[in-house]
């Protein structure tokens, strides 16, 4: 691949990232039209139901699209969804070459879009900055191929691995910069999940509060097998477009379930599991609701259940330069644990970031290609 191809594809990736957290259940896509080594059109997909990136870029280019090169971060679609096929628009614009970062993992496309362009006589180059494009759309890739949400576990602990003192005090282990970064994560992912114990102990709002204002509130998901969430809890009583889902099991007190529903919460009943709720079934249910990603901000028990169940795709692990101590002070992961070190969960593709005085370890439970 040429230096020019990399340069313009990076521009397209940067455009795509502008819609971070806004396109679900669609991918983030950016497009750039180049003619005579000059950008004549650009655009990105802003949200589901709106024109795709290619359409924005081609409209801006107008007649200059004829004979130009189109750089797009994802293979152009060739099927009718909420919008028409982008391949038809590309062909009609008389583009001479299309450079694609990655093939669309959607089974409805999966190489067919590229083939349609080739059949129309358009030269196609694929795989330019492919790994960057896959990383950008890691949520979409999992969801469109499995119909399961991408699960991200976020936790914060002291240097000696404690998430609270021996008396349960946990606010705040990390500093203001780390907490601000967590709100950026909430703005990025579709849902945030906690256990009923967190709601009862801390009464969190579970909303997005960015320093510059605005932000998108995630869907609030509370694991509450016995419907113990108080009707006065902030997860229920606040002005937010995002719903609150209380997850219970069969046999939860019907009067409390009814009261939660009347208070405005959605109640989702799933089968019980070893840790109170069958998390695998829950993720299937959330996927059916087009919730493509879940940010887990639970305590030790919830974290342990997700890790033991091999349900976590990515972690954000904040470490504060503090030593709490105490044999009985809780750590970030509960559950039965492992017996042999060879069975420990390995974190791959690690990235370390300074957040003020704290360190964030970002990594994946499965090594990326």
Q: Catalytic residues, which ones?
A: 54
Nearest to 188 by CA among 49, 292, 284: 292
**Is residue 225 part of an annotated ligand binding site?**
yes
Our CA angle for 273, 279, 281, nearest 5°, is 95
Half-sphere exposure (Cβ direction) of 322: Cα atoms closer than 13 Å: 21
> 340-349 burial, b if ≥16 CB within 10 A, otherwise e?
eeeeeeebee
Q: Does residue 122 sit in helix, strand or coil?
A: coil
Q: Does residue 220 sit in helix, strand or coil?
A: strand
**Is residue 65 part of an annotated ligand binding site?**
no
**Is residue 299 part of an annotated ligand binding site?**
yes
**Is residue 351 part of an annotated ligand binding site?**
no
**Is residue 360 part of an annotated ligand binding site?**
no
DSSP string of 19-34? TTTTSTTSPP-EEEEE
What torsion, rounded to 10 degrees, do the Cα atoms 319, 323, 324, 327 define?
A: 100
**Is residue 82 part of an annotated ligand binding site?**
no
Cα 43 to Cα 51: distance, rounded to the nearest angstrom: 10
Cα 40 to Cα 129: distance, rounded to the nearest angstrom: 21
Cα 95 to Cα 109: distance, rounded to the nearest angstrom: 20
**Is residue 301 part of an annotated ligand binding site?**
yes
Q: How many residues does the chain have?
A: 369
DSSP state of 138: H
**Is residue 63 part of an annotated ligand binding site?**
no
Cα 321 to Cα 358: distance, rounded to the nearest angstrom: 6
What torsion, rounded to 10 degrees, do the Cα atoms 133, 135, 136, 138 define?
A: 110
**Is residue 303 part of an annotated ligand binding site?**
yes
**Is residue 137 part of an annotated ligand binding site?**
no
Cα 155 to Cα 70: distance, rounded to the nearest angstrom: 41
Rounded to 5, what percent of the chain is helix, strand, coil?
30, 20, 50
**Is residue 156 part of an annotated ligand binding site?**
yes
Q: Does residue 315 sit in helix, strand or coil?
A: strand
Nearest to 133 by CA among 51, 73, 57: 73
Q: Which residues are annotated as a binding site for substrate?
A: 170, 186, 206, 209, 297
Binding-site members for NADP(+) are 156, 172, 198, 202, 225, 299-305
Q: Which positions make up the binding site for Zn(2+)? A: 52, 77, 86
> Which residue ranges make up the annotated binding site?
52, 77, 86, 156, 170, 172, 186, 198, 202, 206, 209, 225, 297, 299-305
């Amino acid at each position: 691949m040429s230096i020019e191809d990399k340069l313009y594809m990076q521009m397209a990736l940067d455009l795509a990232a502008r819609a971070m957290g806004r396109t679900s259940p669609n991918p983030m896509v950016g497009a750039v039209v180049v003619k005579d080594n000059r950008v004549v059109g650009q655009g990105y997909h802003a949200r589901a139901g709106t024109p795709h990136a290619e359409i924005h870029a081609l409209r801006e280019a107008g007649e200059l699209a004829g004979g130009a090169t189109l750089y797009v971060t994802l293979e152009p679609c060739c099927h009718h969804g909420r919008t028409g096929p982008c391949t038809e628009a590309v062909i009609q614009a008389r583009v001479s070459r299309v450079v694609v970062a990655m093939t669309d993992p959607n089974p409805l496309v999966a190489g067919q879009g590229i083939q349609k362009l080739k059949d129309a006589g358009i030269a196609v180059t694929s795989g330019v900055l492919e790994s960057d494009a896959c990383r950008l759309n890691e949520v979409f890739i999992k969801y469109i191929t499995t119909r399961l949400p991408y699960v991200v576990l976020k936790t914060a602990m002291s240097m000696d691995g404690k998430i609270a003192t021996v008396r349960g005090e946990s606010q705040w282990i990390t500093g203001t910069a780390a907490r601000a970064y967590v709100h950026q994560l909430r703005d990025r992912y579709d849902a945030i999940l906690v256990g009923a114990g967190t709601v009862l102990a801390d009464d969190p709002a579970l909303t997005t509060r960015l320093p510059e204002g605005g932000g998108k509130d995630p869907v609030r998901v509370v694991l509450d097998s016995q419907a113990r969430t108080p009707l006065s809890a902030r997860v229920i009583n606040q002005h937010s477009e995002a719903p609150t889902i209380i997850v219970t099991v069969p046999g939860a007190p019907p009067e409390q379930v009814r009261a939660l529903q009347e208070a405005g919460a959605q109640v989702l009943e799933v089968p019980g599991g070893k840790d109170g709720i069958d998390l695998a079934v829950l993720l299937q249910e959330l996927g059916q609701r087009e919730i493509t990603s879940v940010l887990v901000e639970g305590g030790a028990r919830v974290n342990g259940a997700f890790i033991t169940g091999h349900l976590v795709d990515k972690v954000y692990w904040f470490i504060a330069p503090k030593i709490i101590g105490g044999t009985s002070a809780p750590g970030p992961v509960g559950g039965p644990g492992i017996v042999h070190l060879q069975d420990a969960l390995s974190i791959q593709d690690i990235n370390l970031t300074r957040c003020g005085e704290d360190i964030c370890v970002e990594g994946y439970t499965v090594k990326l290609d």
